[in-house]
Amino acid sequence: MTRGELRVYLGAAPGVGKTHRMLEEAHRRRARGEDVVVGVVEPRGRPDTAALAAGLETVPLRTVRHLGTAREEMDLAAVLARSPRVVLVDELAHANAPGAGHHHRRQDIDTLLDAGISVVSAVDIQHMESLSDVVRRITGAAPVETVPDSWVRRADQIELVDAAPEALRHRCAHGGAHGPAGIGTGPGDGLRAGDLTALRELALLWLADQVEGRLDRYRDEHGVSVAWQARERVVVALAGGPEGDALVRRAARVAARSKGADLMAVHVADGRGLAEADPAVLARQRVLVEDLGGTFHHVLGDDVPTALIEFARGVNATQLVLGAGRRSRLAHVFSPGVGVSTLALSGSIDVHLIAHEGVGARTGPRPRGALSRRRRIAGFALTLAALPLLALGVGLPHDENTFPSGLLLVLALVTITSLVGGMWPALLAAVVGFLTMNFLYTEPYRTLDIDDPFKVLALVVFLVVAVSVSVVVDQAARRTREAALAGAEARTLAAVAGTVLSGSRPLEALLEQLRETFALDSVALLERRPGTLPGPDHRQDPGLWTVAASVGEHPARAPGDGDVDVPIDDSLALVLGGRRPEAGDRRIIEAFAAQSALALRQGRLADEAAAARPLAEADRMRTALLAAVSHDLRAPLASAKASVTSLRSREVSFGPEDQEALLATADESLDRLTALVSDLLDMSRLQAGVLGVTTTDLPLRESVLRVLDQLGPRGRAVRVELPEDLAPVRADPGLLERVLANVVDNALRFSPPDRPPTVTASAAGTRVEIRIVDHGPGVPESGHGRMFVPFQRLGDTDHDTGLGLGLALSRGLVQAMDGTMEPDTTPGGGLTMRVTLPAA
């Protein structure tokens, strides 16, 4: 069966016209001959919306009763039985009433789509799960119902329904739209125009990301490689040189000219692993890119221009920023360079070549010798000692075989010399061998003149071959050494990165690894004190510096105290003590320094996050408390107020029965209000750690029976199966009864009438485990942890029965009595709550 299509109308706020557009779409489809019905549409008292809905076939809603209240929900079974081509389902983020089947309306929509029925629905941006925190900061209230962004993104079509904030406020003020709760018409009333503008921008940005994702998928599916400049994306190429900082800032300014432009930095690493990029410089530039709101990327490629263009096209870049070449003018004669080559391949991508101070000057490290100094000396010694012996060994008098034999022997000597001492001793051997063969073995002898032109050619070819062999062997040795060094550096840098990413104290571990790698006595990361300015001797004054982190004995207190001082930036320096590493190790040490700065930054961010976490939790609790209190305390207050006001009214005369009913309503409402306030106070005492607990030895059966008596007729349905010889528990009588009352009441609410809950218990060593078992719908294991979050109802939308504090408060009370409270799944379906307390 073909799955139905989903069309979603997205709005910035209620009242922008989503339902109206749904109904208009339904009329258009019906005019085209499609079978369209209304599953659920909420006109909310708007005459024009009700008139549009009246002209369409509507599947009657079903009434769902739960705890004495009745709610109307979409009749999913009736819609499936009707089996239309298209069905309208309003309020996508709606949570169904308990007993309606699915917990969420989106699950009803999934069922309809699986049945091949297309669905037209609507949702506000404030209900997107990923944006709930942002919406709370904008509006001051978190949305009660949310829908996962990934679910909405699966829609076949998403259309934005937009309205200007002032137009929306005007429509709401004149009754033409049902806007968000709190939208006022006067200054300072409800949501301001700025709040609505922010919600509108959220909707536009969310939809823009969705459109961008679909555009990328379309380009991939159709093999489109040409950049489509639907949105500015600026890519800056970094070579690992000091000019990269200026390039990043220039690219950021280019991106800032277009609102919403993306900034990306890319470094093309040599595929052979022999690139000369300084890892410390790249690490610093990565931090700069991220601070400017961009992203950093590494790609591999032997041909830098091709790799850059492929990356730019892959991310649909519109502009590419490059630094002008650092090569000399002579080098440009033999190769055009990266900038010119990239420009030739760029196509529709704009390329910016930025001049900098290093243009035309080589700033990278000079190539190091392929072999050690000892081996080069050995090569020179071999050349000077072997050539005279070789000349004598060829032998005199001369004959026709002497010359070719001598050439071959000298060529062999050149090859051996290049293997032993490298290129320069081999070049010396080639030149001296050439002159020796000319002087001793070509006529006229003992002169540099040559009579035979063929011997001239032979000697020239010999010299060319000898020089070529020397260069090739030296390059092979150089590449071998560079590959070994690159591999060692890569392993070290990988260990550095792993140290930063893992462990609870990455900075100290990083410094310790640096100390062990180079056999140092101490390593210290120093930070200049805030407010101090660099002076002529500021690197020698310990009073200007503080030790951010250190390892080893006697760490330096100022940069000048150590053997090696590696400046990281204006305020940080890495100081090594104990020995001076070789010059070739400087790049690795600078990489350690850069990663140390990152680790220090991450550690401080983690500390700030840890310090802010309690404040965020308190803010979340405050917001949840205000949202819950504003609703749940209002109902009993309103009922009590209405009852008392009616009794005091002189306009209506109430009989004795009516007066008794009003007094009972007021009494019941005040009891509910007292219970809610008591829960709130107890929860605040628990969080403050000041709840008074007085434990004593209690027979469990008596506590359970008192709780069931408090529950009245409902409590008589609970089955009690307690062993006669069960040991007493050590608990506070009042707190234990509150815990049992909360848990048993929950079990009764969700248990079917024919399978009431059961209370059992058993002793295990020094503990007594009480189990309250119900056979209701249960709670998935993924939701067990959230059951004990304050103001959490896990899909229970009956907001007239409490603040959602019952289980959170109960667990806190049990823990205050040195016990535990954990949920478990009842075999066959349902939930078992296990309360464990100390035995007497």
Compute the average pLDDT of residues 594-614: 81
> How many whole angstroms separate alpha carbon 801 and alpha carbon 635?
10
pLDDT beyond 80 at 78: yes
Q: Is residue 656 part of a domain?
A: yes
pLDDT beyond 50 at 682: yes
pLDDT beyond 80 at 91: yes
Compute the average pLDDT of residues 739-749: 85
Q: What is the pLDDT of residue 800?
A: 41
pLDDT beyond 50 at 164: yes
The confidence band for 120, taking pLDDT boundaries of 50, 70 and 90, is very high
Answer for the pair 839, 763: CB distance below 8 angstroms, yes or no: yes
446 with 321, same domain: the answer is no
Q: What is the pLDDT of residue 184?
A: 38
Calculate the alpha carbon distances from 389 to 13, 384, 436, 462 in Å: 97, 9, 12, 19
Q: What is the pLDDT of residue 118?
A: 93
Looking at 220, 250, 272, the residue that finishes a domain is: 220
68 with 202, same domain: the answer is yes
Compute the average pLDDT of residues 675-690: 61
84 with 202, same domain: the answer is yes
pLDDT beyond 60 at 518: yes
pLDDT beyond 70 at 180: no
Closest CA to 804 of 818, 822, 786, 817: 786
The confidence band for 109, taking pLDDT boundaries of 50, 70 and 90, is very high
Q: Is residue 273 part of a domain?
A: yes
In the chain, what is the greatest distance between 2 CA atoms, to the nearest angstrom? 151
For the chain, the domain total comes to 6
Range of lowest pLDDT (48-57, 495-504, 505-514, 579-588): 495-504
> How many whole angstroms separate alpha carbon 58 and alpha carbon 37?
6
Q: Mean pLDDT score of the chain, rounded to an integer?
A: 76
Compute the average pLDDT of residues 401-419: 74
pLDDT beyond 50 at 813: yes
Looking at 166, 198, 220, the residue that finishes a domain is: 220
Q: Is residue 676 part of a domain?
A: yes
- DSSP line for 323-368: EPP-S-HHHHHH---HHHHHHHH-TTSEEEEE--TTTTS--SPPPP
The confidence band for 67, taking pLDDT boundaries of 50, 70 and 90, is low
The confidence band for 187, taking pLDDT boundaries of 50, 70 and 90, is very low
- CATH number, position 821: 3.30.565.10
Which tokens sit at 598? 């990152």
The confidence band for 686, taking pLDDT boundaries of 50, 70 and 90, is low
541 with 445, same domain: the answer is no
Element (H, E) at 621: helix 586-632
| Bridge partner list, 159 | 9
pLDDT beyond 50 at 186: no
Q: What is the pLDDT of residue 45?
A: 67
Percent of the chain whose pLDDT exceeds 70: 72
Contacts of 352 (CB under 8 A, 6+ apart): 250, 254, 319, 320, 321, 322
Dihedral sign from CA coordinates of 354, 357, 359, 365 = negative
Range of lowest pLDDT (79-93, 479-493, 722-736): 479-493
Model confidence over 268-326: pLDDT tens digits? Answer: 876 544 445 666 677 778 888 888 888 888 777 778 888 888 888 877 788 898 887 66
Q: Which residue in this structure is represented by tokens 């101070």?
A: 357
Range of lowest pLDDT (156-170, 730-744, 760-774, 823-837): 156-170
Model confidence over 327-338: pLDDT tens digits? Answer: 555 555 555 677
Q: In what order do the strands lie in the sheet with 295-300?
A: 295-300, 262-269, 233-237, 319-323, 350-354
- CATH number, position 295: 3.40.50.620
Q: What is the pLDDT of residue 364?
A: 45
Domain that holds residue 566: 506-595
Compute the average pLDDT of residues 337-359: 77
215 with 238, same domain: the answer is no
- Between 696 and 694, where is the model more confident? 696
Q: What is the pLDDT of residue 751?
A: 85
Model confidence over 554-574: pLDDT tens digits? Answer: 888 888 888 888 888 778 888
- DSSP line for 48-69: HHHHHHHTSEEPPPEEEEETTE
- From first CA to last CA, the distance across the chain in angstroms is 64
450 with 514, same domain: the answer is no
Peptide bond into 536 cis (omega under 30): no
Q: Is residue 496 part of a domain?
A: no
> How many whole angstroms separate alpha carbon 280 and alpha carbon 569?
11
91 with 168, same domain: the answer is yes
Q: Is residue 498 part of a domain?
A: no
The confidence band for 6, taking pLDDT boundaries of 50, 70 and 90, is very high
> How many whole angstroms separate alpha carbon 523 and alpha carbon 518?
10
Angle at alpha carbon of residue 225, lines to 258 and 236, rounded to 5°:
45
803 with 735, same domain: the answer is yes
pLDDT beyond 70 at 13: yes
Looking at 163, 197, 220, the residue that finishes a domain is: 220
- CATH number, position 88: 3.40.50.300
Q: Is residue 610 part of a domain?
A: no
335 with 406, same domain: the answer is no
How many residues are recorded in the chain? 840
Which tokens sit at 656? 């004795």
Q: What is the pLDDT of residue 796?
A: 45
Q: Is residue 491 part of a domain?
A: no
211 with 247, same domain: the answer is no
95 with 162, same domain: the answer is yes
The confidence band for 5, taking pLDDT boundaries of 50, 70 and 90, is very high
Compute the average pLDDT of residues 173-181: 52
Q: What is the pLDDT of residue 93?
A: 87
400 with 420, same domain: the answer is yes
- Between 175 and 349, where is the model more confident? 349
Q: What is the pLDDT of residue 331?
A: 52
pLDDT beyond 80 at 802: no
pLDDT beyond 60 at 792: no
pLDDT beyond 70 at 413: yes
Q: Is residue 182 part of a domain?
A: yes
CA 518 to centroid of chain Cα atoms: 35
> How many whole angstroms separate alpha carbon 190 and alpha carbon 95?
25
The confidence band for 211, taking pLDDT boundaries of 50, 70 and 90, is low
Q: What is the pLDDT of residue 196?
A: 73
Q: What is the pLDDT of residue 37?
A: 93
